[in-house]
């Protein structure tokens, strides 16, 4: 597989070709996903819950992201690799630049930050240095305490309009991709149509430019209550490889997410 670039992902948006993305944290799964043709992998701070066993993403440190980014890059050399900047690793410009350098040197193509308007100066600073930035709005797991749990965002008109405004401001500041999480399908559709950059959804309906799932959710090995938007693709497959292919195909064909997976 040739290198996946941001220009290619932007072209896919223009041509309405859906993007199937997944999280990964180690060499073996990254290689498996790479071999199945996954174009975008996220080294998410979700590793705090899926790998480290914490109840949230907040305990994750920059050194954790560095370590897992290196492992995933070895397994997926040509995949477009996005890495999260974890909680409080981007609270000011200097800190952000230092931590971004660590993650980029570990193999990331792009860094992902959670938040809205307050991020604009930081995004502009990163963009001015030719660093690709992915925004993340809606349900932002690093703000779980402020949000009082993992809840749907943008349910009323005021919240929805705020998210639309923030998406536009973040694009203007320089982000090249946006993740929208746990928002109503109609709101995600409006954001996607208003932005020229790829919009990737998780629990945001079928009208985004692509989908992303935590690998443990996709494979049905997450403990406890499952979010509404999660589908266990392994339950309908004979192997992990087949499950990943099914996920890619259903995203491309607009089968997943189904209405039952949407808010």
Q: How far apart are CA 125 and CA 174, in angstroms?
A: 9
112 is in an annotated binding site: yes
DSSP 166-207: HHHHHHHHT-SEEEEES--HHHHHHHHHH-SS-EEEESS-S-
Neighbours of 234 (CB within 10 A): 18
Q: Is 185 a catalytic residue?
A: no
Which of these is catalytic: 66, 125, 166, 181? 181
In sequence order, which ranges of the chain are alpha helices (DSSP H)? 6-14, 27-36, 47-50, 62-75, 93-105, 120-128, 157-173, 185-194, 215-218, 240-253
45 is in an annotated binding site: yes
84 is in an annotated binding site: yes
Query: Phi then psi for 242, rounded to 5 degrees?
Result: -65, -35
217 is in an annotated binding site: no
Active site residues: 181
Residues in binding site: 45-46, 84, 112, 114
Residues in binding site for Mg(2+): 45, 84, 114
Residues in binding site for 3-methyl-2-oxobutanoate: 45-46, 84, 112
């Amino acid at each position: 597989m040739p290198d996946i670039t941001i220009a290619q992902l932007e072209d896919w948006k223009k041509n309405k070709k859906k993007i199937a993305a997944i999280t990964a944290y180690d060499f073996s799964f990254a290689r498996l996903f790479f071999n199945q043709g996954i174009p975008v992998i996220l080294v998410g701070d979700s590793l705090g819950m899926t790998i480290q066993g914490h109840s949230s993403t907040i305990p994750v440190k920059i050194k954790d992201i560095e370590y897992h980014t290196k492992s995933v890059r070895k397994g997926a050399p040509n995949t477009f690799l996005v890495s999260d900047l974890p909680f409080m690793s981007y609270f000011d410009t200097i800190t952000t630049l230092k931590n971004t350098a660590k993650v980029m040197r570990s193999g990331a193509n792009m860094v992902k930050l959670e938040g809205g308007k307050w991020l604009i100066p930081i995004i502009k600073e990163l963009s001015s240095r030719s660093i690709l930035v992915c925004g993340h709005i809606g349900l932002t797991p690093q703000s779980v305490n402020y949000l009082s749990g993992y809840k749907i965002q943008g349910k009323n008109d005021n919240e929805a309009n705020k998210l639309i405004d923030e998406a536009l401001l973040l694009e203007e500041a320089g982000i090249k991709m946006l993740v929208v999480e746990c928002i109503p399908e109609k709101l995600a559709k409006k954001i996607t149509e208003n932005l020229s950059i790829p919009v990737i959804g998780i629990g945001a309906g079928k009208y985004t430019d692509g989908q992303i799932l935590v690998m443990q959710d996709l494979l049905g090995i997450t403990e406890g209550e499952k979010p509404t938007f999660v589908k266990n693709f392994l339950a309908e497959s004979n192997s992990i490889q087949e499950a990943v292919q099914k996920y890619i195909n259903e995203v491309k064909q607009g089968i997943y997410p189904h209405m039952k997976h949407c808010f």
